[in-house]
Amino acid sequence: MHRRSFLAAGLAVPLAARAAGAESVRIAFLGASHSHGGGKIRVCQSSADFEIVGLWDADPKVRAEYKGQGIPIVRPKAMLEDDSIDVIAVEGPVADHASEGLRVVRAGKHLHLEKPPALDVESLRDILNVARSKGLVVQQGYMWRYHPGINRILEAARSGWLGDIHLVHATMHKTLGADARPAWAQFRGGHMFELSPHVIDPLVRLLGRPNRVTPFLNKHGEFDDTMADNTAAVFEYSGALGIVVGASLAGNGSRYRSFEVHGTNGVATLRPIEDPQLSFNLVEAAGPYPKGPHNVELPPYERYVDDMAALAAAVRGDKPLHVSFDEDIVVQEAVITASGM
């Protein structure tokens, strides 16, 4: 598939069979121990869009923490059978994402599914097929789908302002302590599977399905485990390359996360991704951007705020999510291949 036609090729995400309006969306959390879970719970607690009506986690300490905040503790079976719950967020261990997500859509609930959504492609396909048949919303937990800097770059590339795109380069580092490594080491892809999907996602949504993906999954840290902690993947396209690099070893690693798109009319660079600094350097002025180097002022950005607002709008039937189920599958294919899985 030609990369410029990819965006329009997917089917639209189905809308909920629910009247539009400002009524709070009733959300429950099936799992809360994922590193993104706490942030999303806080956003929902402070948002008029949501009412948190239940939470369950296998860890009694996690349950006690949220019970102390006034969130009702509801067992999974009761949660899935409660017709008053609109959407369930799956925020537990990565290995459980697919099985829990499938339970949610089979129960007829809209789903927010933390990333990575599954350990293979077919498990995600099963979830989306059930959701499609029931007209359910499924939103994946890629935290930068609503990032203003990444979306300005994608807009410029899709609009032709950067010229013909020949390279996307992304870096996704993290300083990972020894105590956190065993959870990542259980997956062949290690760092590439656990963290780098956040930048594989916009790369693939821009360029489409790659012709070939070659992973490099190395363990270079002096730890007593098998975790792939120094990783890269090359995504080959007709006329373009995508390169993703991610390591768990660098000091202050998260400060060096970046997303960069190169075209025949210039380069757009987001570095760091948080706190975002965006620049364009164009050969000729294009769109709203002048010729030459130019820093772009971005609106304030806070993780998960726009994601959860978009979820509420989709559940209400006000506006569909901007990423289709078909795109979700292509991203998952790329993530799994890049992870050697």
Q: How many domains does the chain have?
A: 2
Going by C-beta distance under 8 Å and a sequence separation of 6 or more, which residues neighbour residue 35? none
54 and 173 part of one domain: no
Print the domain residue range for 263.
148-296
pLDDT tens, per residue, the chain with 341 residues: 333 334 333 333 433 333 344 689 999 999 999 999 999 999 999 999 999 999 999 999 999 999 999 999 999 999 999 999 999 999 999 999 999 999 999 999 999 999 999 999 999 999 999 999 999 999 999 999 999 999 999 999 999 999 999 999 999 999 999 999 999 999 999 999 999 999 999 999 999 999 999 999 999 999 999 999 999 999 999 999 999 999 999 889 899 999 999 999 999 999 999 999 999 999 999 999 999 999 999 999 999 999 999 999 999 999 999 999 999 999 999 999 999 99
Please state, in angstroms and rounded to a whole number, the distance separating the CA atoms of residues 227 and 220. Answer: 9
23 and 121 part of one domain: yes
* pTM of the model as a whole: 0.92
Listed residue (323, 309, 304) closest to 14, CA to CA:
323
28 and 98 part of one domain: yes
Cα Rg, the chain, nearest whole Å: 20
pLDDT of residue 22: 62
pLDDT tens-digit series, residues 40-66: 999 999 999 999 999 999 999 999 999
195 and 63 part of one domain: no
> If you average pLDDT over every residue of the chain, what do you get?
93
81 and 153 part of one domain: no
136 and 162 part of one domain: no
Contact between 339 and 187 (Cβ < 8 Å): yes
Residue at 95 is within a domain: yes
